[in-house]
Structure 1
């Protein structure tokens, strides 16, 4: 079982690598990977009071796998952004790999995502919810070795967020 101490932090070279697809033959490994992702997300939520999604490479699992848990757990395997809107939105993005740093970025307001679920069934989401759209783009970037620090709108697009007091 992986824990918060296993989370890769800003500067770790693995965070800048492109992940390999999950193979159908690796499907039996997915439940353990998802359990690790869930556990670390819960530890982040308890310590920093944020966290809606996490990508496998953040735990050194260099596979195209995303775990979301907003209103229910969702496993996204081998996602592909098949279209994105021209309309953009701005936000102060956060990341579990640098939990006290906020980065001002621009992301697409809407998108279409194709992927496989944990049962290897093909799925397609047309995402028009801004909060979900920006989250998917953030996690999808992780699979391609892109951090939100690399998408900063300018050199002043960084802000410190203090650790919440328990």
Structure 2
């Protein structure tokens, strides 16, 4: 298994819809294993293939589903997601914030569907499906969006959108060619300072 660099917002692959996977072979299974290892090293909760520069319809996840009281770990390939209506109103900065491994060190609040059903296949071509709610539903939406060429910051509204645009310019995230290597570079969300064994990860690494 190998840990891959995670590309940052300005990289074009993040803004293109990923291609469907059509070949299920050892190379695909190696890629999925590498994604799990990269996710583990990143202290994130989900990782899309586009985030390591691979334009394929794949994401992995590993996180607590607090509503169900279980730990979930798995992969979705060629996923289809159906969500409930997104609630109206302003997002709560305390309870509805997201982060993203490809938007390092930042987080912003965003409204999401409270319940989703997602179906797809795993690395062996076997059907997989989840119906989840709450925070775990947020992770699924975050990762699914990546495969459509959309990052959570692209959904921001009002002052949060303005704050993101300022941060994007200040950090140079609009430029291609930026990346960071989990386990080698400092964790941009500071999770390497969290006591070992604590699950203080947010969606996306906030990544979802």
TM-score, with structure 2 as normaliser: 0.67
Size of the aligned set, in residue pairs, is: 157
- Can you list the C-alpha shifts for 1:55-109, whole angstroms capped at 9, x where unaligned? 110001111001011224301111001x311253841110011220102211100
Give the distance between the partners of 2:192 and 2:72, measured in 1 at CA.
Answer: 27
Structure 1 segments unaligned to the other structure (5+ residues): 46-50
Give deviations 1:34-66, integer Å, cap 9, x for gaps.
122122212211xxxxx1110110001111001
2:38 match: 40
Which has the larger Rg? 2
Q: Does the 8 A contact of 1:104 with 1:153 survive in 2?
A: no
Structure 1 residue 21: Cα displacement: 0.6
Identify which range, 58-67 or 35-44, moves more after superposition.
35-44
Q: Which runs of 5+ in 2 are unaligned?
A: 64-70, 168-187, 194-208
Which residue among 101, 105, 108 is the counterpart of 1:100? 105
Matched, 1:54 2:73: no
Partner of 1:123: 128
Provide the alpha-carbon RMSD of the alignment.
2.3
Q: When the two structures are superposed, what TM-score results if normalisation uses the length of structure 1? A: 0.83
